[in-house]
Amino acid sequence: MAEKLYENRELSWLKFNERVLEEAEDERTPFCERLSFMSIFQTNLDEFFMVRVGSLHDSMLLANNPKENKTKMTAEEQLEAIRERVKELNRRKDNVYQYLMGRLEEEQQIHFVNFAKLAEKQAIYLQRYFESEIMPLLSPITVSKKQPFPFIKNNEICAVAVLVPKNSKAKNPKGRIGIVPCNNGMFRRMIQIPDVKGYYMLAEELILHFLPSVFQGYNVVSKSLIRVTRNADIDADKVYDEELNYRDHMAEVIKQRRKLTPIRMEYTRDLDKQVLTQMKNFLKIDKDMIFKIKSPLDMSFLFDIQDILRHKSELFFERRIPQKSPMLDETRPLLPQIIEEDKLLSYPYESIRPFLNMLTEAAGDPDVVSIKMTLYRLAKHSKVVEALVEAAENGKQVDVLVELKARFDEENNIGWSRMLESAGCHVIYGLDGLKVHSKLCLITRKTDKGVQYITQIGTGNYNEKTARLYTDVCLMTADEKIGAEAARVFQALSLGEVVKDTEHLLVAPKCLQNKVIDKIEREIQIAKDGGEGYLAFKLNSLTDKKIIDKLIEASEAGVKVEMVIRGINCLLTGIPGKTDHIRVISIVGRYLEHSRIYVFGKGAREEMYISSADFMTRNTVRRVEVAAPIYDSALKDRLRAMIRTELVDNVKARLQMPDGSYAYIEHTEPAIDSQEQLYREAYEAVGAVLPRYADEQQPEEEPEKEPEAPKPKKVRKMKSDDEVVKEDSKAKDDKAKDSKVKESKAKDSKAKDSKGKK
């Protein structure tokens, strides 16, 4: 009976990704944005297999066959449930893809074709293109006794063929497998077909078609595209090599990850069962983790389609620009304003620029003696790092904890750590067995009045790009008590320790989970005494069983609990007598809901915190996290209003039902899209209106005088920043060459003139 109060973590995550897929299905979502959600669904699922399924795969190998602590499912049972759910979601994804591609053809005249639909002239062009541009760059291999099965990179698309030698004299010659990697980065993925506007073919489909030309000594009996996903769940601390410094060790961990066990294979066309068995044996992969897919194995090309349609603004979300904060006057120094009163920024509705300006200002302030900061994920071209480097070069003491174990950002962070060290910053790399996930910055000033702290605590990463895409909040305060505790956190980190007691901040792993439970217990007691107990939380995920059980107890006592949980939620709500006082909604929309806000109680006893920590065991007891109290009444009012707006969302919010499913909220009232509403309020706070509501008299000048918000083309990873730099460098080189050619021609002309005059 008790177990029916819980949802399995992995199955709950798949329900979240289903909500992402719903955004691709939703007719209210602009067409090109639906393509984005298709790609996001796929990349989410890829990471889920790499991390979560990879972890379960490892757990299954353990002798004690451990059970998950809420639903008591074994790893094997979870994997079986995941397989069935993924099959359903894949079918749904394939259907959505086919529908969107049909719309793309009918309405936008963009077609993805195969050879059966091509005229002879186009077919000849593609054959010549393949032979000249692609064939020389391929690395085909046939599997035999002398040529073992090749290493297939993680999520790399390969063409696979069953081959029979043409000169074989056997009646039933045994086929062998031929493999060709298709995405080596040296040729375009989308190949435009000449003479017919809007017709394209994907490179892997072209390679697949011409496999007989690749394997000329064989007959191709059957062929397909495949993609292999590898386990990426590697514990860096367990494999720590004391002979290496920690940064070099993490570089080795990244190399190891690329070679980990395959856990999933996808393929697009029918292959002989015997061949599938061979592939399974070669890859040492579970046969139930082999999925047939009808849509492309990699959806990233959908962003190329967006680029083609960029001129059609009606196919995209309407433009939104992060606004200035009405709490700050950017014409004045920012540090004195923060000293006067606490400030709060809300991304993406408000710009991250004031925070960046605060760092830059601190770097040049003669009274600032030190800046301490924890860094988890950064932008590729980080202005935060620029400010820290400037501070170090100006003689400030700069202490930076760079978390090298930030999954999939390790390489990026290794590079930043080297740059910071070379600039004179003191860099540390975290604690043994604990990730440092907190978003904490402490600026220390020494004035005539003594030592003064300015503390920043955020819910999201110090990343200028994601600040335009994720909803987060950022507190900047000169509160002495908060600053003193933040200083204790940094002191502990520098000694390789954790804070064991706090009065103001909640600091995991020792002083967050227990304090949250104590505050929930207080509301339970108030409800039992006949008062009005109240709790509200905005989270990404809820999995911590101790907190979940305390929330169930709170509901049983009559405490009203309201939660906005974007992703995983392991608590089933609305169950009579148990969780019927708990309401959970999930908002999945244009921006990724990312802020964490805790509210305990109402009225005079209300306590409010913002935090980097979700209510997940990994956050509450296995990471260093910080939650900061909001003491300023105006900031409390603002956060309370923000949560209230989200709780009444009836456009992008889904309500969790007692069976764990999620359903759009039916409404008769006016439609409220909380993200759009919060943006509207940000515009109105600076005397502007959203473009949708603007009339012809609205000034053309944008109220936020900063670079234009990045378009999806720049946000998506279609080109790495290194590629962009290379292209810029090439453009400069080409320009320099042109200049030299012109200069040379001019000299030749002068020489000729000179000869003529002589």
Three-class SS string for 375-436?
ECCCCCCCHHHHHHHHHHHCCCEEEEEECCCCCCCHHHHHHHHHHHHHCCCEEECCECCEEE
**What long-range pairs does 91-94 form, CB within 8 A, spacing at least 24?**
92/18, 92/21, 93/21, 93/38, 93/41, 93/42, 93/295, 94/293, 94/294, 94/295
CB 441 within 8 A of CB 432: no
The whole-angstrom separation of Cα 573 and Cα 177 is 52
CB 228 within 8 A of CB 265: yes
Three-class SS string for 516-569?
HHHHHHHHHHHHHCCCCCEEEEEECCECCHHHHHHHHHHHHCCCEEEEEECCCE
| The pairing of beta strand 199-202 with beta strand 141-142 | unpaired
Alpha-carbon distances of 184 from 4, 158, 464, 570, rounded to whole Å: 48, 10, 30, 40
- In 3D space, the residue among 513, 261, 240 whose CA is nearest the CA of residue 502 turns out to be 513
SS3 content of the chain, % helix, strand, coil (to 5): 40, 20, 35
Q: Which residue's entry shows tokens 């004031």?
A: 354
The whole-angstrom separation of Cα 442 and Cα 455 is 5
The whole-angstrom separation of Cα 19 and Cα 586 is 9
Q: Cα 307 vs. chain centroid, distance in angstroms?
A: 21
- Note if 311 is an active site residue: no
Residue at 115: amino acid letter: F
Residue at 111: amino acid letter: H
Question: Residue 502: how many CB atoms within 10 A of its CB?
Answer: 17
Catalytic residue among 437, 504, 594, 667: 437
In the three-class reduction of DSSP (H, G, I as helix; E, B as strand; rest coil), residue 449 is classed as coil
- Sorted by sequence, the CB contacts under 8 Å of residue 170 that are 6+ apart come out as none
Q: Roughly how many angstroms between the first and final C-alpha of the chain, as a whole number?
A: 107
DSSP element (H, E) containing 179? strand 176-181
- Sorted by sequence, the CB contacts under 8 Å of residue 610 that are 6+ apart come out as 457, 458, 459, 473, 475, 595, 596, 597, 598, 627, 628, 630, 639
Q: Which residue's entry shows tokens 């305390």?
A: 550
321 burial type by CB count under 10 A (0-12 exposed, 13-18 middle, 19+ buried): buried
The whole-angstrom separation of Cα 122 and Cα 145 is 40
What amino acid positions are annotated as catalytic residues? 437
